[in-house]
C-alpha cells in the first residue's frame, strides 16, 4: 500500500446508498437509516454506508473498487475493525468530518495444475495453505531473485497494512501502520528453517512462490474470500493503479486503531 494523504469530501455527502449483511440486526439498521436519510442506487450516491462486520466491508470495497465512491462502515457485526461505531443520529455530520483513506489491493496470479492461470485481488492478504496433513514445501523469490530456496510450513501470508491486523497478526506477523509502504511476508508454522519469522518488503516488489512437490503436498491460495486450490505457482504484487476508498471518523481513524492493537496485551 503506497503512502497516501488522508482527504475529505469537498462538500458533505448527502446522497447515500446503504448496503447491509444478511443478519437481522444489520437489515433493521438499514431500514432505519434508509427511512431517515434516503437510499439511492449506488451509481447515484456520493457515499456508500455499509452495515455489518469486516467481512461485509471487504466485500463492499471489492465491489466498488475503482469507482471513486468512498465506503463508510458502521458496525452491526462482530469484530468491526474496519467499521465505525453505529449511531442512528448525526450521520451526515459524521460523513462530512470523516477521513477518506485510499486502499490499493494485492493482485494475485495463480498457476493451477489443470486449469491454467487464475487471477484474484486481495485487500487484506493473500495466503497459501497446505491442503493435506503434509506440510507445504515452498520456494520464495522477490523481484525474480530466490531469497528462500525451501520453506517447509503450513503456509505463508502476504499482507497489506490494512490486513496486517487480521490473519497476519494471528500468525504472529508485524502490525504495519496504514501508510507504511510495506508488505508483511509471514510464515505459518514454519518447520524449516524453524527460526525464520518472515520479512518486511517494499510494497513495489513482486513476490513469486513456487510450490515444490505440488502433487504430493498440494497447496491452495486465498485472496481475501476467494480460494484457488491446487496451485503450482503464485505471483503477488500491489496494484497501485487500482484504488478503493474507505472512510473513518476523524476522532478514531486507522492510525488510532493500529496503535490500539499494538498496545493490547
184 marked as part of a ligand binding site: no
256 marked as part of a ligand binding site: no
Omega of the bond leading into 193 within 30 degrees of 0 (cis): yes
β-partners of residue 192 are 152
* 54 catalytic per annotation: yes
DSSP-assigned letter for residue 135: P
- How far, in whole angstroms, is CA 146 from its chain's centroid? 26
* Active-site residue, from 35, 39, 54, 113: 54
The set of cell numbers assigned to 206 is 513482486
166 marked as part of a ligand binding site: yes
203 marked as part of a ligand binding site: no
154 marked as part of a ligand binding site: yes
Which positions ≥6 away from 141 have C-beta within 8 Å?
A: 147, 207, 208, 209, 210
d(CA 171, CA 91) in angstroms, rounded, equals 36
165 marked as part of a ligand binding site: yes
Q: Is 66 helix (H, G, I), strand (E, B) or coil?
A: coil
55 marked as part of a ligand binding site: yes
113 marked as part of a ligand binding site: no
125 marked as part of a ligand binding site: yes
CA distances from 89 to 33, 37, 85, 94, 204 (A): 9, 10, 12, 9, 42
220 marked as part of a ligand binding site: no
- Residues marked active site are found at 54
Annotated binding site: 54-55, 124-125, 154, 162, 165-170
Annotated binding site for NAD(+): 54-55, 124-125, 154, 162, 165-170
Amino acid at each position: 500500500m503506497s503512502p497516501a494523504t488522508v482527504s475529505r469530501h469537498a462538500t458533505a455527502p448527502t446522497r447515500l446508498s446503504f448496503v447491509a449483511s444478511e443478519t437481522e440486526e444489520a437489515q433493521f439498521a438499514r431500514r432505519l437509516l434508509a427511512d431517515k436519510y434516503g437510499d439511492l442506487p449506488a451509481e447515484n450516491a456520493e457515499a456508500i454506508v455499509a452495515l455489518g462486520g469486516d467481512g461485509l466491508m471487504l466485500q463492499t470495497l471489492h465491489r466498488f473498487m475503482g469507482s471513486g465512491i468512498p465506503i463508510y462502515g458502521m458496525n452491526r457485526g462482530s469484530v468491526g475493525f474496519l467499521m465505525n461505531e453505529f449511531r442512528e443520529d448525526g450521520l451526515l455530520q459524521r460523513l462530512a468530518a470523516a477521513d477518506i483513506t485510499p486502499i490499493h489491493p494485492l493482485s494475485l496470479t495463480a498457476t493451477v495444475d489443470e486449469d491454467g492461470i487464475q487471477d484474484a485481488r486481495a485487500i487484506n492478504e493473500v495466503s497459501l495453505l497446505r491442503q493435506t496433513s503434509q506440510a507445504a514445501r515452498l520456494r520464495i523469490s522477490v523481484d525474480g531473485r530466490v531469497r528462500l530456496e525451501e520453506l517447509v510450513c503450513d503456509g505463508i501470508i502476504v499482507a497489506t497494512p490494512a490486513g496486517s491486523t487480521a490473519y497476519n497478526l494471528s500468525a504472529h506477523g508485524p502490525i504495519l501502520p496504514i501508510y507504511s509502504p510495506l508488505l508483511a511476508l509471514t510464515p505459518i508454522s514454519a518447520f524449516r528453517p524453524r527460526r525464520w519469522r518472515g520479512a518486511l518488503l517494499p510494497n513495489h516488489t513482486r513476490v513469486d512462490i513456487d510450490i515444490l512437490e505440488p502433487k504430493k503436498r498440494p497447496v491452495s491460495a486465498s485472496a481475501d474470500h476467494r480460494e484457488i486450490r491446487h496451485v503450482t505457482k503464485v505471483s503477488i504484487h500491489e496494484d497501485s493503479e487500482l484504488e478503493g476508498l474507505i472512510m473513518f471518523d476523524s476522532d478514531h481513524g486507522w492510525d488510532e486503531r493500529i496503535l490500539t492493537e499494538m498496545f493490547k496485551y
